[in-house]
Chain A
Amino acid sequence: MSHPIIEAAAIDKFYQSYQALHGVSLTVAPGEFLALVGPSGCGKTSLLKILAGFEDPTSGDLMIEGKHMVGVPPSQRPTRMVFQKLALFPHKTVAENIGFPLKLAKVAHGEIDRRVREMLSLMHLKESYMNRLPAQLSGGEQQRVALARSMISKPSVLLLDEPLSALDAKLKKSLQAELKRLHRNLGTSFVHVTHDLEEAMMLADRICVMRAGHMLQVGTPEDIYYRPATTFVAGFIGETNLLPVMVAAHGGQGSKKWRFASPSIACADPVVDRTQSAPTVVDGDALMMLRPEMIHLLPEGTPDMPCAMTGIVDEYFVKGASIQYRVSVEGLAAPVILEVPGTLRRPADVGEPVRLGFRRLDAYLLPADPHAGVAA
């Protein structure tokens, strides 16, 4: 990895006695698309404001492009922000809005005009909009103007504060594609705050999951989805099954394998590789994570899978491309959720006994203690 463009080290942020960030450390590579996700109040917006310079960390250090940034005002930073509510100036025209950063930088009139037109075409906005007020544009067009305003001075980092959260689903999809295209064309680093993990997975190279001021996990979308660090991360996107199991190191001292056991799960060889577990897992209670699409429904006469469970169908939901089943399994408090490909003939009905199977390879072990891995 080349030299990081953003390096945040051990950042704490207090608002009076309330601690919004707990020792957050983070790096962003040049040209990287990083998503900050988490529920509201998790500190993602505080972190973004610290990156932008609207707030300073209470302690910790921040470097951008190799320069110390604590105490440097937003205007002096190589970052630009896209605001949640866009913050287009209602009294300035589209052209004045987009050209505002250049005007402040005392760029010549002709040059501003040229670059505003350049941004308009990059953002697929008509040049005839230049003299309109923001109020005369549609929601999607306003988004594009806001993006154009933040990109015109060619910042090395673009900070996005949930700019898509207020849009309807269809417009959101098209602007997500737009963002991805922009990012690819410009080579600027993007730091994108969102509470929508699906959006983060679609757009980002790496995702940073936050909760209550702590960074829980930073990783690729695959890491976050298939190898979450905690049960919170596991549950943050989509639905998942967390089955209680007992684990023990397999094969004695220095072994690279876990042996697991559960009265509800029958496995021919209940052993998984250490790479299939969070590093915080220890001997004793643990949770086995299985995504719904990893559990299969086994009709009469099909061969068994390496691991199996039996239960009774509680409820099913036809979702179109798939059918979701909720199956109650003896010994498990919560029903097991699984998804099978949608077909015209439903494989099982409510009240029917069913056999379920999964591959050991798909299982991932998490610590049972929800606070494991989180510094208090």
Chain B
Amino acid sequence: MTGLTVDHLSVSYGGVSAVDDVSLEVRPGSVVGLVGESGSGKSTLAAAVVGLVGYSGRVSWKGELLDGRAGRGARRRVQLVFQDHRSSLDPRMTVAGIIGEALSGGNRDERSRRLLDLVALDPAVLDRLPGSLSGGQRQRVAIARTLAAEPEVLIADEVTASLDVSVQAVVLNLLRDIQRELGLTVLFISHNLAVVRYMSDEVAVMYHGRIVERGAATEVIADPQHPYTRTLVEAVPQLGKRRPTEEGAEQLLLESSQSPAGGAGCPFRSRCPVGPRVLAGRDLCEHEDPFARARSRRNEAACHFAEARRASC
């Protein structure tokens, strides 16, 4: 059975490509993590999947297309939890109003209380305005509102990025419990690879609008194939891990804000620590885009030398 299927999805703003031909599958009841740095297009992808921005390509849930012609019911089944809890709740509506707006049918008060219970909030907050709640409480209200739509698919876009660590833990635990309890299908988006690893069954890595690598979470992190993924994994701060201060050959002194290399070759080649600028004989990267080949494979990295590296290990 197919779950959430994203097929050749592209989004561009004024001629600049934000998401470039992304295909992705989230099996029903599973959690796929999407990781990338700022400007990688992960939030745009989320907005496109739920239909908040226009796109080319196809998005479907259990075989049913989720485009403009899909019914309201079908669209409601895919919901997004927003990143910024300060702007995701209307400052002039009480919590009761916010959750009530998302509920359809009667008995809203009773059901609102059940939802608050699910996100571990006191029903007393129903009468309060978002401004009087803490960040963690607001994010839990936002999750309760999302659940009120009775979604089957949940897209969580950087839901803990603006929270302190102890509050982040509360929200992560909550999302995980709800996912299991309700059997939700989740696309979990974050810049924090450690959080993505903790939450997800599978991981997809985005770089400049493209998915450069995907696979089972444990495998991708234990043995990243794409040089970009490897950089990300190595960059994750780890408790007590002292690092050599001299720069290794694989250190990238480039930033994700830089536009990718143009032309026909691999867009990552100008940053690549194992690419043609470092190693001789890798002219292939200058001429051929590895994505064309990667698309035919699954759970693979979009890199000409990923397999070569694996073979040489």
Genuine A/B complex: no
Interface residues of B (CB under 8 A from A): none
